[in-house]
Structure 1
Amino acid sequence: MLQVLQNVGSGETTVAQIPCPLVKRGEVLIRSSKTLVSAGTERMLIDFGKANWFEKARQQPDKVKMVLNKVKTDGLAPTIDAVRSKLNQPLPLGYCNVGRVIEASASEFNAGERVVSNGHHAEVVRVPKNLCARVPDEVDDESAAFTVIGAIALQGIRLVAPTVGEAVVVTGLGLIGLLAVQLLRANGCRVLGIDFDSAKCELARQFGAETVDLSKGEDPIARASAFSRGRGVDGVVITASTKSNEPVSQAATMCRKRGRIVLVGVVGLELSRADFFEKELTFQVSCSYGPGRYDDEYEQKGHDYPIGYVRWTEQRNFEAVLDLMASGRVDVKPLITHRYDIDNALEAYRKLDDRSALGILLNYPKKGAESLTNSSVVLCKTSKYEGSSVVLGFIGAGNYASRVLIPAFQASGAKLHTVVTSGGVSAVHHGKKNDFVNAATHVEAVYANTDINAVVVATQHNQHARQVCDALNAGKHVFVEKPLALSCEEIEAIETAHSRQGGKYQIMVGYNRRFAAQVQQMKALLEPVSGPKVFMMTMNAGAIPADHWTQDPDVGGGRIIGEACHYIDLMRYLAGSKIKSFTATSMGASPGIPITEDKAAITLSFEDGSFGTIHYLANGGKAFPKERIEVFANDAVLQLDNFRKLKGYGWKGFKSMNLWKQDKGQSACTEAFVNAIKEGKPVPISFDEIIEVAKVSVDVALALRNQ
């Protein structure tokens, strides 16, 4: 299927062949009929993409600070690589879609129904159920395509809370502004529209508004005073896009005492206290389509807000706009200026430079269902593989997988065959970039392919155990990014699958730190030491929001299972002895700190008498190094600072080992796995040790949660 993508780094817009997305629980798969190009938002994204690095940095000063902190801790080269990788990610464009349901895993929708959604410009889209709404029979597809952008205008108006007969100003008569004019008129308000474009002012007059044409030198303050009969307007909706502070300042001057100002667009926000103080004005910024926006519980997990408490969610705003269209009180036909087929989408985007362009529609000609719902795309010709070749199928291509794992496996000599992601876009992007043969959205493309003999699992943590078992059952070796599993039951399932195959197919977890060059040096120095060792390991992990998926015990498993497992494995490796017992203590409960598990001390005791403490701390500062490892043994000390500086105190023949850039062992880790499979040897981490570390990680997390 075809989809419109933008490269944020270069600003290049393309129409790409993408495999049909995989519909997940609570989602709706939709065959697009029409989509609307947002002249405001999408033009802004394209302009940002075309800007140079300096201009991008100037527009996002908060991101610059993050980059500078990363340079201090990780070094310049890794930071530049991370920034380039982020900017080169493909961005799906579009958020105003109408089409017919192909498949729904949500019971609220049925195949064949017409729906609107915030789906992208693509022949087939998958959308969470709460971001879809049925289209009434009275509303055609072209009109319905304006629903989402209409909901943006409607949410701004709801915050103004106008009553019948009130005088309201709309500043900026683009698509959202002109829809706001109609919605306010439908609400019984008198409307004054302001813009520099005479044609848009004329449209606003057709919709029942009075206007101020700034291109003719008309004074908006004087007109607003006359419009409100000298009392001041009741409210102002700002739908303009400008860096100037003038729209807000003018709005404050126009308003009556205790008037309401709502910002829907993007304008300068250097406010003057004097403008607002004497009149006790209310100023509010509207958030997109309405309540539920950017709330994963509502959008991704499908938990609706009770109507008695939240009357107008974003979905119900969609429905309200559609009802107004069905009754004829909102008419978008005059707003349509251009129509293009999806194949010619690039011409549509070139039209954005024409400021007279308003409603640009993309049309999706009918094609055979099979061609649209194909879950795999061929990227290049299949090679003939030698018998000893390690041919990989990659499941998942997120940030870490795409930046670190895929290049590392490619450098190790493995053959990259198929990459799978549920949405398809990143699979195609990284597949082309790294010479994969296929990009797909269904994991069966990996399991069923007889050329593939090893699978890399790099998906969300709650999928790891199932995908490891499925890969083993399909007769594949498995490299799984940590963690191996989230529960004892999942660990047992993996043990069963491994045993069922008689250990023929190997499993390795991406515990890369033990393969780092400096850790290998530490291991070599510790090898001759016969007595017990003492370890101190500090992970200055940094805060992650409580609602991030990694913090969800059912999805990410929490940060102890998901990340501290690295250090449990590392200590187990350096000790060279089985873990006998552990104790774990976390920060006590405190108001305003929803999660304490990620601020913990974990002490491991080993069978040879060694012990060590892992300080996994999410409440530190970014200016401090992220990782520090200290080993006390044989009247000497080893200290590894952030995988860049290793110092030896009292070690005969060893003082230091410093690196120009961080090496956390990812390349050596992947190379060790590939070589083991290629040579028919066991992987470097034994299956028993992998299971041991997984069980201890789960037990530690449970102990901390039950404190």
Structure 2
Amino acid sequence: MKQVLQNLKTGRISVEEVPRPLVRPGRVLVRNQYSVISTGTEGGTVKLGQMSLLGKARARPEQVRKVINVVRTEGLLTAYQAATRTLSMPIPMGYSCAGRVVEAGEGVGAFKPGDLVACGGGGMAVHAEYVLVPKNLCVRIPPDVDLRLAAFTTLGAIALQSLRVARVGLGDKVVVIGLGLVGLLTADLLAAAGCLTLGIDTDPGRVGLAEERGMGPALTRGVDNLKERVLAFSEGRGADAVIITASSDNNDPVALAGELARHKGRVVVVGRTEINAPRDTYLFKELELCTSLAYGPGTGDPAYEEKGLDYPAAYVRWTENRNMAAFLDQLSQGRLRTGSFITHELPLVEAARAYDVITGQSREPHIAVLLSYPETAASESGRVALKAPAASPRPTSGTVRIGVLGAGGFATNFMIPTLSGLKGVELAGIASATGVRAGALGRKYGFSYCASSPMEVIEDPDLDAVFILTRHDTHAAYAVEALRRGRHVFVEKPLAMTLSELDSVVDARRETGLQAMVGFNRPFAALSGRLREFVAGRAQPMAIHYLANVGYRPPEAWIHDPVQGGGVIVGEACHFIDYCLWLTGSEPVEVQAWAMAGDASGLIPEDNVQVHLRFADGSLATVAYLSCGDPSPGRERIEVLAEGGLAVLVDFRDLVLNREGKKKRHRLRVIPDKGYAAEVETFIRAIRGEDASSGLFDRQVLSMRTTLLAVESMRQGRPMRVAHDIASSGAGKRTP
């Protein structure tokens, strides 16, 4: 199918061929018929992409701070490479569309194939021939509403939510600052609600277009005598409410709104503008300053948008979905003039020209620009060829043909660049949920095809191995599917989220005799080898303290989701538990874990955990996984004490070895080496039969079993005997 994408590095808009989305539970697959380009949001995104690197940095200081943190912990080169890859990744454009339902996923009972629906959501209701949208962001279109107008539903819901925040009613005098598309929709809804409106914009052209389309009085900022005109409009009192839909990099709209509002009036900010209210104006007029977020309650809540959980109407009357439906009701009753705002309608293939219009490059007067999707035979394939097939489908002798599942940050920044640099490896297929990232990475690194369905890759008979880099809850199932189809598997941690899943992978690997590896990369790091040499040949037990200072993550982060992420112990601390098993070379006999006690400060107990391990050779290890500290000085610190020696390894870039009063230091000065390349090379050699990697997978499985028991220990509040409790406990059972 065709989709509009933007290259954030250059700002270029293009229409690319990408795989059709794969239907998933709770989602609705829709064949688009119309979509609306948002002049403000999308226009701003295009302009950002056209800026220089310095301009982008100034416009997005929060991203600069993230890069600085990466520089501190990972090194300048790693930070530069990650930033470059992020900028080169295409961005899906659009968030308001209308079309016909093709298929409804499991758990979607409200829609069936053939239904006409309006859709919303950034990254979901995009400019593409097919879109996959969560059920709470889809609304059925009344039969008497033109699909062209229904495509405005998301933008209309944004405007409608600002009215609800402003609490306006019949007869109120309302000023709208900013006469772009959302501003005009806001004024139109105000009129339908019985309010009197006056519009203000800095662009005389917009003011003229607004008046031509029957909005009512509109004034040009800096030309008309605003204060006097607003006082006359409001019978000398000032506006009951001022709604700001303008975009600005300063607080001028907020300052102006304060001057125009009446005593005890309300100011609502919708547009992206600096919110820095003049103290005296807002204080002495006792003004109420509010912000209006997107389409209404539910915005940004994964439980509502992604999982489909609704808010009871008795407590939250107007959610995103109900605001969208209310806008469609107004269209159905003929109370809005939305159709008069359409100045351009272009087919999807002319999307680049459409963006030239909204960014002003074509110098055409405009308000709303509509993209149409002609009823042609759009590609319904979930697979797109990226290069011509070779004359022989099988690679040359010794070449390992690889498929990749997942195109997230880890795949983008670490695994795929590592794979692309290996000799004797052919990158065949790559799959991701939307297909957009898979297509971008596939083109960049020379994959043969991209897909939206993981099974497209797993079932490829010409593959030798599959790299599974998807969300945690899919790892075990995909590994079993790939092994049973004769593919070697590399699985990013965790290998599984329950003991039953773990056993299913172990059984499949044993039955097939194929190679399997878990992405526990740290033992392969360059300085890890020197650390192990330091404790090699010991006759006494050792003590290990592993500090993972990971930094705070909000409760809604996907790693905390018990279904998708599995929590931080299963999802991340397994790395460090495995490292302790590798370093001691001994089997764990007991594990106990404690979570920090939570309080009202926002501390997440499960993000602050200590895991104690006791090994068969008498060694002890403590893994402290903590999010309550500052990660900028360093994220990982390993201290090892054995036979009169002390070793300290920091972030896998600085190792200090102390023994008998002598100190030896090893430091990587460019970038830390966490072992990704050596890990993958070991796996590829094992596939070729050059390296049996004896015992490696068995240790990794034992690490996962120990990790699952650590979770159970934390739940039960007691130590777990590894050999006994693996069989007898409920470790690894998912909680709802």
- For Structure 1 versus Structure 2, the TM-score category normalised by the shorter chain is over 0.9
Query: CA shift at 1:442, angstroms?
Result: 1.3
Secondary structure, counterpart of 2:73 in structure 1: helix
Distance in 2, Cα, partners of 1:183 & 1:333: 13
- The equivalent residue for 2:572 is 563
**Which residue type is aligned with residue 510 of structure 2?**
S
- The equivalent residue for 2:384 is 377
**Which residue type is aligned with residue 433 of structure 1?**
K
After superposition, where does 1:242-253 map in structure 2 within 5 Å?
242-253=248-259
**Which residue type is aligned with residue 353 of structure 2?**
E
Task: Call closer, same or farther: CA 1:567–1:307 in 2, change over 3 Å.
Answer: same
- The equivalent residue for 1:344 is 350
Task: Call closer, same or farther: CA 1:522–1:382 in 2, change over 3 Å.
Answer: farther
Distance in 1, Cα, partners of 2:505 & 2:559: 22
Distance in 2, Cα, partners of 1:295 & 1:144: 24
Secondary structure, counterpart of 2:217 in structure 1: strand
Distance in 2, Cα, partners of 1:24 & 1:555: 14
Asked if 1:263 is matched to 2:269, the reply is yes
The answer as to whether partners of 2:210 and 2:218 remain within 8 angstroms in 1 is no
- The equivalent residue for 1:297 is 303
User: Given the alignment, which residue of 403, 414, 417 partners 1:404?
Assistant: 414
- The equivalent residue for 1:695 is 705
Query: CA shift at 1:594, angstroms?
Result: 5.6
- The equivalent residue for 2:405 is 395
Query: Residue by residue, what CA displacement relative to the aligned partner does 1:604-637 show, whole Å, maximum 9, x if unpaired?
Result: 1111111111111111102321111121112111
Query: CA shift at 1:355, angstroms?
Result: 6.1
**Which residue type is aligned with residue 379 of structure 1?**
L
Q: Please provide the CA RMSD for this pair.
A: 1.7
Greater shift, 190-199 or 428-437, is seen at: 190-199
Unmatched 5+ stretches in structure 2: 718-736
**Which residue type is aligned with residue 226 of structure 2?**
P
User: Given the alignment, which residue of 622, 646, 657 partners 1:637?
Assistant: 646
- The equivalent residue for 2:733 is none
Distance in 1, Cα, partners of 2:50 & 2:367: 22
User: Given the alignment, which residue of 241, 245, 270 partners 1:239?
Assistant: 245
Asked if 1:487 is matched to 2:489, the reply is no
User: Given the alignment, which residue of 619, 627, 638 partners 2:636?
Assistant: 627
Secondary structure, counterpart of 1:397 in structure 2: coil
- The equivalent residue for 1:18 is 18
User: Given the alignment, which residue of 683, 686, 703 partners 2:693?
Assistant: 683
Secondary structure, counterpart of 2:155 in structure 1: helix
The answer as to whether partners of 1:263 and 1:284 remain within 8 angstroms in 2 is yes
- The equivalent residue for 1:610 is 619
- The equivalent residue for 1:117 is 119
The answer as to whether partners of 1:586 and 1:599 remain within 8 angstroms in 2 is yes
After superposition, where does 1:125-136 map in structure 2 within 5 Å?
125-136=131-142
Distance in 1, Cα, partners of 2:467 & 2:372: 38
Task: Call closer, same or farther: CA 1:626–1:651 in 2, change over 3 Å.
Answer: farther
Query: Residue by residue, what CA displacement relative to the aligned partner does 1:651-690 show, whole Å, maximum 9, x if unpaired?
Result: 7998122112200001110111011102264336533212
TM-score by length of 2: 0.93
Secondary structure, counterpart of 1:597 in structure 2: helix
**Which residue type is aligned with residue 172 of structure 2?**
E
The answer as to whether partners of 2:346 and 2:370 remain within 8 angstroms in 1 is yes
Distance in 1, Cα, partners of 2:252 & 2:217: 18
After superposition, where does 1:509-520 map in structure 2 within 5 Å?
509-520=518-529
The answer as to whether partners of 1:90 and 1:429 remain within 8 angstroms in 2 is yes
Query: CA shift at 1:41, angstroms?
Result: 1.0
After superposition, where does 1:69-468 map in structure 2 within 5 Å?
69-105=69-105, 106-118=108-120, 119-205=125-211, 209-214=215-220, 217-352=223-358, 353=360, 354=363, 356-368=365-377, 371-383=378-390, 384-413=394-423, 414-468=425-479
- The equivalent residue for 1:62 is 62
Task: Call closer, same or farther: CA 1:680–1:178 in 2, change over 3 Å.
Answer: same
- The equivalent residue for 2:489 is 478
Secondary structure, counterpart of 1:80 in structure 2: helix
Greater shift, 107-116 or 438-447, is seen at: 438-447
**Which residue type is aligned with residue 622 of structure 1?**
P
Secondary structure, counterpart of 1:372 in structure 2: coil
The answer as to whether partners of 2:200 and 2:221 remain within 8 angstroms in 1 is no
Task: Call closer, same or farther: CA 1:688–1:53 in 2, change over 3 Å.
Answer: same
Distance in 2, Cα, partners of 1:409 & 1:60: 31
- The equivalent residue for 1:469 is 480
- The equivalent residue for 2:34 is 34
Distance in 2, Cα, partners of 1:415 & 1:652: 51
Asked if 1:647 is matched to 2:653, the reply is no
Distance in 1, Cα, partners of 2:347 & 2:213: 29
Greater shift, 215-224 or 334-343, is seen at: 215-224
Query: CA shift at 1:50, angstroms?
Result: 1.1
The answer as to whether partners of 1:221 and 1:250 remain within 8 angstroms in 2 is no
Query: CA shift at 1:65, angstroms?
Result: 2.6
**Which residue type is aligned with residue 668 of structure 2?**
L
Query: CA shift at 1:91, angstroms?
Result: 0.7
Distance in 2, Cα, partners of 1:616 & 1:279: 51
Secondary structure, counterpart of 1:48 in structure 2: helix
Distance in 1, Cα, partners of 2:414 & 2:86: 13
Secondary structure, counterpart of 1:242 in structure 2: coil
Query: CA shift at 1:160, angstroms?
Result: 0.7
**Which residue type is aligned with residue 386 of structure 2?**
L
**Which residue type is aligned with residue 213 of structure 1?**
L
Query: Residue by residue, what CA displacement relative to the aligned partner does 1:262-292 show, whole Å, maximum 9, x if unpaired?
Result: 0111223232111111121111111011111
Distance in 2, Cα, partners of 1:264 & 1:53: 28
The answer as to whether partners of 2:247 and 2:271 remain within 8 angstroms in 1 is yes
Distance in 2, Cα, partners of 1:129 & 1:594: 33
Query: CA shift at 1:76, angstroms?
Result: 0.9
Secondary structure, counterpart of 1:155 in structure 2: helix
Asked if 1:547 is matched to 2:556, the reply is yes
User: Given the alignment, which residue of 697, 714, 718 partners 1:704?
Assistant: 714
Secondary structure, counterpart of 1:491 in structure 2: helix
Unmatched 5+ stretches in structure 1: none
Query: CA shift at 1:524, angstroms?
Result: 2.3
The answer as to whether partners of 2:184 and 2:215 remain within 8 angstroms in 1 is no
Distance in 2, Cα, partners of 1:379 & 1:83: 25
Q: What percentage of aligned pairs have identical amino acids?
A: 38
**Which residue type is aligned with residue 588 of structure 2?**
I
Query: CA shift at 1:139, angstroms?
Result: 1.0
The answer as to whether partners of 1:157 and 1:184 remain within 8 angstroms in 2 is yes
